[in-house]
Amino acid sequence: MRSNLGFFSDEKFRSIFFQTLVVGLFALGLFFVISTTSYNLEKRNIATGWSFLQNPAGFDISFSPFLEFKSTDTHLKVYFVGVLNTLLVSITGCIAATILGFILGIVRLSSNWLLSRLVYIYVEFSRNVPLLLQIILWYSILIQLPRVKQSLQVLDVFYISNRGLYSPRPIFESGFSYVLIAIVLALISSFLINRWAKKRQDKTGQQFPVFSSSIGLIFIVPLILFFILGSPLSFEHPELKGFNFKGGLVIRPEFIAMFLALSIYTAAFISEIVRAGIMSVSKGQREASAAIGLKQTWIMRLIIIPQALRVIVPPLTSQYLNLTKNSSLGIAVGYADLVHGFGGISLNQTGQAIECMAIVMATYLSISLTISFFMNIYNRSIQFKEK
């Protein structure tokens, strides 16, 4: 076929031509944006650079459970407090959402019509109402709790009020590190026992009570050690002084609202994923395992769940990613996470919009990539292994 366009009809030439064109246009656009931006910045007297990170922040952060934060600390510290708060609510939220989601997904498949309908209603309601609305709603419920003076008392040690949940703070004394070492050792040895028992069962068919022996190792041995060392742990109880509690461990309502809303919202999605995963396991598997005389709970644990996990894990990963990204909504209730603390208050105080937003976006990207990386490793470990 002849073409009057000459060498333009050559595929190789065309591909190079278009790609050069795109790169050229992109570079041109970038140049335009950079030059206008630097002009605009100059006009507004904003100096670019990272030196603002060393300046004192000048504001307080109400919730910083891991780092002590004072208003004289730097913006860099605001960033670290924000990252830790984002990670705290994301990790606790993911754990709670997974547990709740699995339970609800299994209950949704229960043979009891009423129960499964109830879960269905819950799932539809929490999936179809915007998360931001749910966060604000939980927060408005929590701040309508009684004032500090009339706070609700649970078990004589927890106080619930509109300022949050006050609980005793554990104080670790000198000998407690031995107990921690014992717990870590127990965890490692029960992991090794599990591997050994599996190998032995594969070879000889003999079973070993892995579960009960692990429980014994992890809980009872450290507990005995704890009492031998003379209980090296005491609690600092919160005390009402003036208008507020002094001492103790406080969990702020902002965190509780975020935690509840994120985990309840995501659990609805996870329960649907779990349901679809369990339903993807063919009926024959259940019948076959019943035919060889396995108990109902064992069928679930040994046959159904391992196969369902292969279907469940990829969408579960994206739910974890969503939950982490959604934790940025904490700004609506004043939870001092990455977006609220560093991307919000620090940005407004310093005016370094480009730098702050770049750092915040890069941090979220790295968190997302890390979650994907680990979930991909886990996913590979549970997929079919062909021998």
Partner 1 sequence: MNEMNEVRKPPVATTGIIGWLRINLFFNWTNSLITLFVIYCLYQFIPWILDWTIFSADFKYNYLGEQITNQEMCSRNLDPENGGACWAVIYVRFYQFIYGFYPKAEVWRVNVAYVMLALALLPLLYAKLPYRKYFLYFTYIFPVIAYFLLNGGLGFTEVSTNKWGGLLVTLVLGCTGIALAFPIGIMLALGRRSKLPVISMMCTLFIEFIRGVPLITLLFFGMVMLPLFLPEGIDMDGLIRVLVAVTLFQSAYMAEVIRGGLQAIPPGQYEAAKSLGMSYWRMNLLIILPQAIRISIPPIVNTSIGLFKDTTLVIIVGILDLLGIGRGTLADTNWLGLSYEIYFFVSLVFFIFTFGMSRYSLYLEKKLKTGINMGAD
User: Which positions touch partner 1 (CB under 8 A)?
Assistant: 15, 18-19, 22-23, 26, 33, 36-37, 39-41, 43, 111-115, 118, 124-125, 127-133, 136-137, 140, 144, 325-326, 328-329, 331-332, 339, 343, 347, 353-354, 357, 360-361, 364-365, 368-369
Dihedral angle over CA of 36, 41, 43, 49, nearest 10: -140
When the beta carbons of 19 and 282 are compared against partner 1, the nearer one is: 19
Q: Which of 321, 274, 299 is CA-nearest to residue 102? A: 274
Least Å from the CB of residue 31 to partner 1: 12
Least Å from the CB of residue 215 to partner 1: 25
Q: Which of 301, 338, 303, 322 is CA-nearest to residue 372? A: 322
Kindly report the backbone phi and psi dihedral angles of residue 385, in degrees, each rounded to the nearest multiple of 5, phi listed first. -110, 115
| CA neighbours closer than 13 Å in the CB half-sphere of residue 195 | 5
| CA neighbours closer than 13 Å in the CB half-sphere of residue 234 | 5
When the beta carbons of 118 and 251 are compared against partner 1, the nearer one is: 118
* Amino acid symbol at 35: S
Least Å from the CB of residue 70 to partner 1: 27
When the beta carbons of 55 and 368 are compared against partner 1, the nearer one is: 368
What is the DSSP annotation of 174-204? TTHHHHHHHHHHHHHHHHHHHHHHHHHHHHH
Q: Is the dihedral of CA 184, 185, 190, 195 positive or negative?
A: positive
CB atoms within 10 A of CB 383: 11
Contact 239, 204 (CB under 8 A): no
Tokens for 377, please give them.
Answer: 């490793």
Least Å from the CB of residue 19 to partner 1: 4
When the beta carbons of 129 and 215 are compared against partner 1, the nearer one is: 129
Least Å from the CB of residue 155 to partner 1: 24
Least Å from the CB of residue 115 to partner 1: 6
Contact 64, 342 (CB under 8 A): no
Least Å from the CB of residue 321 to partner 1: 8
When the beta carbons of 18 and 172 are compared against partner 1, the nearer one is: 18
Q: What residues are paired with 241 via a beta bridge?
A: 244
When the beta carbons of 14 and 195 are compared against partner 1, the nearer one is: 14
What is the DSSP annotation of 271-329? HHHHHHHHHHS-HHHHHHHHHTT--HHHIIIIIIHHHHHHHHHHHHHHHHHHHHHHGGG
When the beta carbons of 23 and 215 are compared against partner 1, the nearer one is: 23
Least Å from the CB of residue 125 to partner 1: 7
In the chain, beta strands by DSSP E? 152-154, 158-161, 164-167, 169-172, 233-236, 239-241, 244-246, 249-251
Least Å from the CB of residue 369 to partner 1: 7
When the beta carbons of 100 and 240 are compared against partner 1, the nearer one is: 100
When the beta carbons of 313 and 339 are compared against partner 1, the nearer one is: 339
